[in-house]
Chains A and B, each alone.
Chain A
């Protein structure tokens, strides 16, 4: 029989508070095949691991079960410890008696019994484990970065500077993202474009970076080190190679009244356009939805004018196949628009604007050249109400989380307004001021103390228009909920930051998890903040959760570091949890009948046909063959195979069968 060691962890009191660990250890000692059983305060600690190692050597163990926390937490830790003691790491299994037992049940016999049942189940499993060797697969040292905002730019530059090829994919005609729309940035009030545009140019000029704008991910397959990605490059109707970016077309385009996305609708653009003067690439694209030629079949003014003949109305979407070893997701965020808020007028009041619109108003390159003028009539507003937490932290609106950046940018907006309109009064409605961060609290204090922003703690219940004024009604909770009413000239809503439209479908294409708000999910909230559950795909910036610029950049550099780490080896070592088709001595060779249904069921195209030939080279039998480099170990083929000819290491038929039996037969 096997020689199994069982190690019950108290996890301080996390487990021992509800589970009688000594009892579990004692019961485990009575299981057939268990030759050593013990319990200890912290199995994952050095002394805990030493106990395991000693037991392996002393009792010549053939398998180890650690009953402790979730294997998703410490399985690698204990497997490594086993390996260090000379036991194949795959002969170690964990029973989850913390997350699945001690933390979810009350103290008592039933909980202790369950901890033992789980332990016994894993003991029976481990008896059927086999020593496994890790699998090596080659790494393609090209990274794809999806999203060209500040996070994507940072990640791309870091990886490219690390000497690796980067493919940067941007949905919009230009990179730059939201940061390029900002006026000044907190807490330093330095000009956003001034610090961003040099980096955008660096991207454009970097020999290791290939930039695809107006492009999106069409599909992805493969796995870490070996992704195959199809990129859909949408037709720009302008031949980039021929276009010199002279801009003549944009000046002569007859369709001039399209609200500019970049200007948040505060200014117009033409149908052939460059989103903003510093765009990268600085070459126009035709917006087919608004182009007169595409709408009516007549016009072609731009084509007639173009000195290089770069206008190509026939251009089609292009599908580009690329291979990459890693993917960085940096698709950023969106903000809720003002029409999301019935209480604030459903977006029908022109002078109720969102934070990004205010950024454009305050921006020197914006529609007002930086002068604060209200959109309705261009007057300089004398009273501006800023409402923080517009939608955020509001479970009723489906956004229970904090958008994180609003407190800071609202303070910044109040300051910018005051700096530009000295006689004006900024009011700020807030729930709490969250200004944790280097120089952040000082910044908000400055807004209040030096710039005289009037902070009112409370919510705005509604806004209505009266005599050319916006009547803002709220309550001051610091004054016991005293009603407040302000006749404002303009209201700026710090609307909630939400995940981008399409992030769900992108997550599905890339097989990464996402949270209920469609932000991409990190592999571990603390220890793997820039990794996803899908190996080889990393997160940068606000696509994961609302983040400010320094955080986004830090995450981007973190993701880049992960990619560079991955690329530092020519081969990747993979877990040997892969499926395998059985082989037998002749005349059977394999019980696989070659029905090939597993080929259609495999999500990774990891199964192929294999011919078994005789000495004369004639095919005797055709069976399935699994490519261990492609197989990800999902086991769908295993459960499907009628003749049980495929098995999955780590979750073999024998293992799971014995688990079921052990769990139920106590």
Chain B
């Protein structure tokens, strides 16, 4: 039995957590999110290289959040998701025990959010090489080529909202896409409506995205939709020097400003 199972078992036994959100064996060699509510389930939790999914979206899920306190097995992107959720008041200190597994495979139990910040202070977040490569490739294209690329992707979008549901930061009870007075974004999954939806989602994530890429992972039709918020996160890092999901007290880049913010296109 690994450290993660022991800690999960202890937290459940002492009642410090009612459920431990983690990873379990999934279909055919894959891993899946798993929920340990008792000793037996605690024993089934696993943690290994395959556990890259960001689980932070489960902490506010309606079927789970009433079970707070929760414990959650966390990789770096989950940690960042939790910190960002805390910045946006969706988690309070003490709601969640985070079981961070560091590069050495040690489990670091964070009961306070500040302890997560300490873990994150050691880390320089980087985007995946394949994402970087595709972003660079797109940047090198002409606008027309980029348009063709994205439009062909948008035609495939079926508006299943897996991207939204998988996102740790899409916690709104009413998503902008569901607002119908006015109907900002068409309900129909037509190309222009899909485009508007994905632009809106990326904009709403700008300054907030923790670059986990979960939206792209979730897409059933393989649209690299995570590139949009990640591209913006990278730009924001370059322009404003802010990185989301590293510190609780950070303010959102798009709801703050500096009088001497630079731009080069406003005449």
Contacts and interface: CB of A to CB of B under 8 A. Distances in A.
Interface of A: 588, 591, 593-598, 600-601, 622, 640, 642-645, 653-654, 657-658
Interface string B177-200: 001011010000000000000000
Nearest to B200: A642
B174 A643 contact: yes
Contacts of A644: 174, 176, 179, 184
B182 A653 contact: yes
B254 A640 contact: yes
Given A644-B184, A654-B182, A657-B184, A593 B90 contact: yes
B165 interface: no
Contacts of A588: 173-174
Contact of B90 (A595, A640, A642, A645): A595
A596 B176 contact: no
B182 A645 contact: no
A642 B251 contact: no
Contacts of B179: 643-644, 653
Interface string B121-144: 000000000000000000000000
Interface string B222-264: 0000000000000000000000000000011011100000000
Contacts of A593: 88, 90, 171-173
B204 A596 contact: no
A643 B182 contact: no
B182 A595 contact: no
Contact of B252 (A594, A597, A622): A597
Nearest to B181: A654
20 contacts: A591-B173, A593-B171, A594-B89, A595-B88, A595-B89, A595-B90, A596-B89, A597-B254, A597-B255, A598-B255, A600-B251, A600-B255, A601-B255, A601-B256, A640-B255, A643-B176, A643-B179, A653-B179, A653-B184, A654-B181
B175 interface: yes
Contacts of B204: 642
Given A591-B174, A600-B256, A653-B184, 15 more contacts: A588-B174, A593-B90, A593-B172, A594-B89, A595-B88, A597-B88, A600-B255, A601-B256, A642-B172, A643-B174, A643-B175, A643-B176, A644-B174, A644-B184, A658-B182
Contacts of A658: 182
A365 to B, nearest CB: 44
Nearest to A599: B255
B173 A657 contact: no
Nearest to A591: B174
B207 to A, nearest CB: 9
A588 B174 CA distance: 10
Nearest to B87: A595
Nearest to A647: B181
Contacts of A594: 89-90
A648 to B, nearest CB: 14
Contacts of A622: 89
Nearest to A642: B204
A600 B172 contact: no
Most B C-beta atoms less than 10 A away, residue of A588, A591, A654: A591
B171 to A, nearest CB: 6
A597 B172 CA distance: 14
Q: Which of A594, A643, A653, A657 has the most CB of B within 10 A?
A: A643
Interface in B71-93: 88-90
Contacts of B252: 597, 600
B56 to A, nearest CB: 15
A579 to B, nearest CB: 14
Contacts of A640: 254-255
Contacts of B89: 594-596, 622
Nearest to A508: B259
Contacts of B184: 644, 653, 657
A108 to B, nearest CB: 29
A591 to B, nearest CB: 4
Nearest to B60: A593
Interface centre among B182, B204, B252 (most CB of A within 10 A): B182
Nearest to A654: B182
A535 to B, nearest CB: 23
Nearest to B207: A597
A657 B182 contact: yes
B242 to A, nearest CB: 13
Contacts of A600: 251-252, 255-256
Contacts of A595: 88-90
Interface in B140-177: 171-176
Contacts of B90: 593-595
Contacts of A596: 88-89
| 5 residue pairs, one from A and one from B, having the closest CB atoms | A591-B174, A657-B182, A595-B88, A643-B172, A597-B255
B60 to A, nearest CB: 9
A658 B255 CA distance: 26
A602 to B, nearest CB: 9
Contacts of B254: 597, 640
Nearest to B176: A644
A658 B181 CA distance: 10
A593 B175 CA distance: 11
A597 B90 CA distance: 12
A213 B167 CA distance: 58
A644 B179 CA distance: 7
A654 B184 CA distance: 9
Contacts of B255: 597-598, 600-601, 640
A343 B201 CA distance: 62
B182 A642 contact: no
A595 B255 CA distance: 11
Contacts of A643: 172-176, 179
Contacts of B174: 588, 591, 643-645
A82 to B, nearest CB: 25
